[in-house]
Structure 1
Amino acid sequence: MTGDHKKGYLYIFLTGLFFSIEVIGFKQVFRLYHLAPEIAAFYGVSISFHFVSPFFLAKKVNRARLLRTIQSDGLILLIGTSLNSIGILLYYYGLRISDLGPSALLIKMTVLYNVLLGVLLLGDRLRSFEVFGILLAIIGIVVISSLQGQIQFSSAVIMLISAFFFASQSYLIKRYIPKIDGICFAYLRLGILTLIFACYIISQNSWHEIPIPVALSLGLFSLFGFFLGRAFFFEAHNHLPISKLNAILLIEPVVLLFIGILFLGEAVSVQKFFGTFLIIGGLYLLIFHKQKSKNLSNQTK
């Protein structure tokens, strides 16, 4: 393992940690206050954006970094973030009406979408073993989606659609940005998301004020997930191939599954663990076999 890979693995570990804090925090807010997804998302990203703005705007060197990122990667940032905003609203809607564990598990189908995008748009080829992994994951989706009382079928569909919009940004980064400035990308993404959610709320006439402690809590959770988690995730793209990024992040939904059971009182069932095993197992087969195939092809060159 090279030093570059070690740095990438550290970034992904921190990504999973900060993502988990955000998801758990937002889930608790939805349970206690029943906020609309767009309201929760807007307060979260806008407050976290204001939290970190002084760091970027006070120093000339940081302002210059922002300008370089906009000039070199602005179009991809705008397209990817716009697609992400749809995924975020869908994900929060599904998270609001479903248990934490199944929701976190289904959103990781971004792994499958990244592979399929590679096949459809980058000319990658699927082997029989990889097809088997995809089938296992799909069966796991069916099992998880039929969990009575823990996740609604409509919520499962929403999560799967949401995962596609999340996967799109990683695909765009790997395709068009050879080296990304992760922290600047994450900050600019916060600003764009704030504008998008504000415009959506105005168009839907759904704006309303929420208690200050709740707003600050959403801002703090978003600071962990939308800023720190995303900054490390974007930076990890510079150090690891997409397959390894996804493989390590698959640990996150398993951790959230147990947190939901142990601390949030979510139900324990054989069906939940069986579906988890199928999805995680199928995606690991897909990732590791693809990585092994790439290594073998490189050795034969």
Structure 2
Amino acid sequence: MPSATPKSLWLAYAGLVLTPLFWAGNAVLAKGVVDQIPPMSMSFWRWIIALAILLPFGLPGVLRQKAVIRQHWLSILALATFSVGAFNSLLYLAAVTTSAINIALINATIPIMVALLAWLLLGDRTRPLQALGIGLAIVGIATVVARGDLSVLTGLQAQPGDLIMVLAVSSWGLFSVLLRRQAVPLPPLTFLTVQIATGALVILPFYLVDVMFISGGFELTRTTAIPMMYFAIFPGILAYAFWNHGVHRIGPSKAAIFMYLTPVFASLLAGIFLGERLGPSHLVGGALILVGLVLATRSRKVN
């Protein structure tokens, strides 16, 4: 890890605080506008706008790396499908039937899902403390999904959006595991540009089916254009850039701690803008998830 000046460290920490704020805003705004912008339209146009912004900067690298891209196109397709293609599409779909707070709480368990899938698929050694953390976080997710009522789980009455968010987190976990196994040797900006372009192509047929046969799309107005710009710029481009810079400057273990701020910010924003309130199941489930994340993160740092 390169040496960092006080100014660059300050910028890294500021970016790592803004990143979960942008992610929380993504969940809250998606919940707020899902009645006006269908989930597939949200997902597709978010990435098209982000790609249009990135292309002038990323295209030269893409053209220089054409041979590498052709050689690794299957890996790129798999990585783009689980990240750009599936993750946010599922998150926006979840917003139809669950709360922004639930989305953020379940989304915060991404490090746990990555650790669990790395153990299952890659055979990573799991220490007892990490296994305990994974178990507590899973119980926390179940508490949030069940809304404190065990019969919700035993009777298969969970909100569809909560279960869809579990699928979204699993999708990002698969992306993270595949990224380790099938790393593509491209510069970060070039890889991000190709990843977004490929993911948008993956979303395209689902978007077209949705527009033609299900939702009919949405009308472009000021009230729909502003959210789409937010989705593209803040949780899209800036969050990726800030997160990568923070990891580069202070390391992945310290940076991962900032992910815990996402449900905190989401709770505040959802309370202010959507009138959502924390219930006992959110507090109990959130506490279990937080403890599980801390235990799992600490156990990884001593490996």
With the shorter chain as reference, the TM-score category is 0.7 to 0.9
Please state if 1:19 is matched with 2:23. yes
* Kept after mapping to 2: 8 A contact 1:43/1:219: no
Separation of aligned partners in 2, 1:144 and 1:211: 35
Q: How does 1:75-114 map to 2 (within 5 A)?
A: 75-84=74-83, 85-114=85-114
Q: Percent of counterpart pairs with the same letter?
A: 23
Deviations 1:8-37 (A, max 9, x none): 75654443243233333323222x52x321
Structure 2 vs 1, CA of residues 125 and 172 (structure 1 numbering), >3 Å: closer, same or farther? Answer: same
Q: Please, which moves more after superposition, 75-84 or 168-177?
A: 168-177
Q: Which runs of 4+ in 1 moved over 4 A?
A: 4-11, 62-69, 71-74, 234-245
* Kept after mapping to 2: 8 A contact 1:108/1:253: yes
Structure 2 vs 1, CA of residues 96 and 154 (structure 1 numbering), >3 Å: closer, same or farther? Answer: closer
Please state if 1:189 is matched with 2:195. yes
> Cα distance, 1:189 vs. partner?
2.4
**TM-score, normalisation: structure 2:** 0.80
Segments of 5+ residues of structure 1 without an aligned counterpart are 295-301
Deviations 1:106-160 (A, max 9, x none): 0222211211122123332223222222222122112211228xx9532222111
Please state if 1:219 is matched with 2:229. yes
Please tell me the root mean square deviation across aligned C-alpha atoms, in Å. 3.2
Aligned length: 287
Q: Please, which moves more after superposition, 156-165 or 238-247?
A: 238-247
Separation of aligned partners in 2, 1:65 and 1:233: 26
Please state if 1:52 is matched with 2:54. yes
* Kept after mapping to 2: 8 A contact 1:12/1:248: yes
Separation of aligned partners in 2, 1:114 and 1:18: 21
Segments of 5+ residues of structure 2 without an aligned counterpart are 149-156
Separation of aligned partners in 1, 2:45 and 2:271: 28
Q: How does 1:116-131 map to 2 (within 5 A)?
A: 116-131=116-131
* Kept after mapping to 2: 8 A contact 1:185/1:231: no
Q: Please, which moves more after superposition, 180-189 or 159-168?
A: 180-189
Please state if 1:199 is matched with 2:209. no
Structure 2 vs 1, CA of residues 248 and 175 (structure 1 numbering), >3 Å: closer, same or farther? Answer: farther
> Cα distance, 1:164 vs. partner?
0.8
Please state if 1:143 is matched with 2:136. no
* Kept after mapping to 2: 8 A contact 1:186/1:227: no
Query: Hey, what does 2:164 align to over in structure 1?
Result: 158
SS at match of 1:15: helix
Separation of aligned partners in 2, 1:180 and 1:287: 28
Structure 2 vs 1, CA of residues 22 and 69 (structure 1 numbering), >3 Å: closer, same or farther? Answer: farther
2:82 is matched by which residue type in structure 1?
L
